[in-house]
Structure 1
């Protein structure tokens, strides 16, 4: 299953980097290229989940119990940051890469509470990928900061963050991973 996990990671990273590493090839594909990339990303995600869920547990380190609290706080922050990318509120434009920053926070949060090899491979690779993606984007394009919007939209973002966090918690519980110490 480690091979499936690694193949998924490679496909995810390759599909995301395709536009930046082979811009001419991607441009020549036209709109079909978007579909190819989308299929590659989706296939990579499926393989990562399948490989991670089926991977043998190989203990590397034992995270301290209190890290669960830090993980939960970081996950709440990650959900908020991810949502910032779609907000039209005052927070719009405060951060250049809110989605990729959210992925980095998500990865660090999970590395703090998972000490097995499959987790280190999955979350560590996503942390490295998101950092590399930010670096590639920053080098390729100048950022034009959007104008801030209505502050009521930021309140909506907080509400949506709490709802999405509750849904994610329920999904983790349904999968047998209770995210709160008890």
Structure 2
């Protein structure tokens, strides 16, 4: 469990450092980006190893059939997350598409995983994304960008459907079929 907690803490720290300590980050320049990238890679490795090796300690039982809501939220999360890269109409409506998509991803996983390790992983990362949104909103103003047109949103949906299928296949391959619908 310690590796998982350390991984989540490093992820949050590496991302939040720029916002909470800009005077310390600024002098690092491009080297700071490299350091952050290495810390993020290390954090992902620690989270994966920590989560996969954590003892299952039940905290709450998900509702039977809640997996279907999880699957729908995951599809929406991928669309919202990708909106910032697609730069279509949706991009003009959501200020932080990747952070909101990430938050939806975390919430969806908390619906179907009631063990302590999942709460640490998904809850911790979800809280990080919300904190990041709050900090950015306090520090920077936002002008909605110009839409690249509806074709970009249609392309986004196509890419998301392929990504969704790949993510589902990885889940099935690792023994967690997301289409069973019952997790309780």
For the criterion TM > 0.5, the same-fold answer is yes
Return the structure number with greater relative CO, CA threshold 8 A, min gap 6: 2
**Cα displacement string for residues 13-49 of structure 1 (whole angstroms, at most 9, x for unaligned residues):** 0000111121122111111000001111111111111
How far apart are 1:90 and its partner, in Å? 2.1
Aligned to 2:99: 100
Quick one: distance in 1 between partners of 2:2 and 2:21? 26
Aligned to 1:111: 110
Aligned to 2:156: 157
**Cα displacement string for residues 88-143 of structure 1 (whole angstroms, at most 9, x for unaligned residues):** 32222110011110111111101000111100111111111111000000001011
Give the length in aligned residue pairs. 181
Aligned to 1:60: 59
**Cα displacement string for residues 55-87 of structure 1 (whole angstroms, at most 9, x for unaligned residues):** 000111111221100000000001111110101
SS at match of 2:128: helix
Aligned to 1:70: 69
SS at match of 1:73: helix
Aligned to 2:179: 180
Aligned to 2:2: 3
Contact kept, 8 Å, 2:4 with 2:121, in 1: the verdict is: yes
Quick one: distance in 2 between partners of 1:22 and 1:56? 35
How far apart are 1:145 and its partner, in Å? 1.1
Aligned to 2:31: 32
How large is the RMSD of aligned CA atoms in angstroms?
1.0
Quick one: distance in 1 between partners of 2:39 and 2:98? 19
Aligned to 1:140: 139
Quick one: distance in 2 between partners of 1:153 and 1:128? 30
- Give unpaired runs (5+ residues) of structure 2: none
Report which stretch shifted further, 7-16 or 23-32.
23-32
SS at match of 2:180: coil
Aligned to 1:15: 14
Aligned to 2:42: 43
Quick one: distance in 1 between partners of 2:35 and 2:143? 28
